């Protein structure tokens, strides 16, 4: 499976979810290629820390690609891996369009705020264009860094549910410090100690929704 993590809004936790899914998938024994197609290269930094931290290394292969090379190089290597995870920048780029042209699934995280939610309309327009070339593409949205209390979560989710072309996953992830702590050590949330059962339950629910 080729699965992308993207959108047109930065700072929504896209890379955090991408690397966690790559880690969890590799822990299941899958041979994973993680493609860093984001100019900020955070996924590459995460992998570098992971290689330094763990005696066994990252547990997956990671490369950097940009622009149209995301499509051409991934298609060249697609038969060599069980799954390919592509982390693209949080804006409309050639790399993101290239990823959407070949991905089976695309996950678009958003925050519980009206500005973040309404950017999903732009994503829906990009998806409509991409499906003209890739009719296998399934696009999912997920609420990330959800508020602990308040109605913003429900209101944001209800708006996402109404956007055509996007499927909203009812697997929200809370605004938990463990995501930052684990990432800074090159670890997935499921690997971090001491365990955070709530965070593990949330990230596991998302994993199941995406890969079931």
Q: What CATH number labels 2-211? A: 3.40.50.300
The 10s digit of each residue's pLDDT in 54-98 is 999 999 999 999 999 999 999 999 999 999 999 997 778 899 999
Residue 86: per-residue pLDDT: 98
Residue 131: per-residue pLDDT: 93
The 10s digit of each residue's pLDDT in 5-25 is 999 888 899 999 999 999 999
DSSP secondary structure letters along 1-58: -EEEE--S-SSSSHHHHHHHHHHHHHHTT--EEEEEE-TT-HHHHHHHHHHHH-TT--
Query: Which residue from 167, 206, 144 is spatially nearest to 10, judged by alpha carbons?
Result: 144
Sketch the domain layout of the chain as residue ranges.
Answer: 2-211
Instruction: Reply yes or no on whether the pLDDT at 197 is more than 90.
Output: yes
Where does the pLDDT of residue 151 fall: very low under 50, low under 70, confident under 90, or very high at 90 and above? confident
Residue 166: per-residue pLDDT: 95
Give the mean model confidence (pLDDT) for residues 194-212. Answer: 96
Residue 91: per-residue pLDDT: 77
Where does the pLDDT of residue 114 fall: very low under 50, low under 70, confident under 90, or very high at 90 and above? low
pTM for this predicted structure: 0.94
Burial of residue 201 (number of CB atoms within 10 Å: 0-12, 13-18, 19+): exposed
Number of separate helices (H) and strands (E) present in the chain: 8, 7
CA distance 51 to 42: 14
């Amino acid at each position: 499976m080729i699965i992308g993590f993207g959108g047109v809004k930065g700072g929504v936790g896209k890379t955090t979810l991408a690397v966690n899914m790559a880690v969890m998938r590799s822990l299941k024994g899958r041979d994973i290629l993680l493609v860093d197609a984001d100019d900020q290269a955070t996924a590459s930094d995460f992998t570098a820390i992971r290689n330094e931290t763990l005696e066994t290394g990252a547990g997956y292969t990671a490369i950097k690609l940009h622009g149209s090379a995301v499509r051409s190089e991934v298609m060249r290597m697609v038969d060599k891996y069980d799954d390919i995870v592509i982390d693209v920048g949080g804006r409309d780029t050639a790399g993101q369009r290239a990823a959407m042209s070949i991905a089976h699934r695309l996950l678009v995280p958003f925050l519980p705020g009206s500005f973040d939610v309404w950017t999903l309309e732009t994503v829906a327009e990009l998806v409509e264009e991409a499906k003209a070339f890739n009719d296998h593409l399934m696009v999912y949205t997920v609420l990330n860094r959800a508020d602990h209390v308040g109605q913003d979560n429900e209101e944001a989710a209800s708006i996402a549910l109404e956007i055509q072309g996007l499927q909203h996953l009812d697997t929200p992830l809370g605004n938990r410090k463990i995501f930052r702590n684990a990432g800074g050590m090159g670890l997935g949330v499921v690997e971090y100690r001491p365990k955070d059962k709530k965070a593990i339950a949330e990230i596991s629910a998302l994993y199941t929704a995406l890969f079931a």
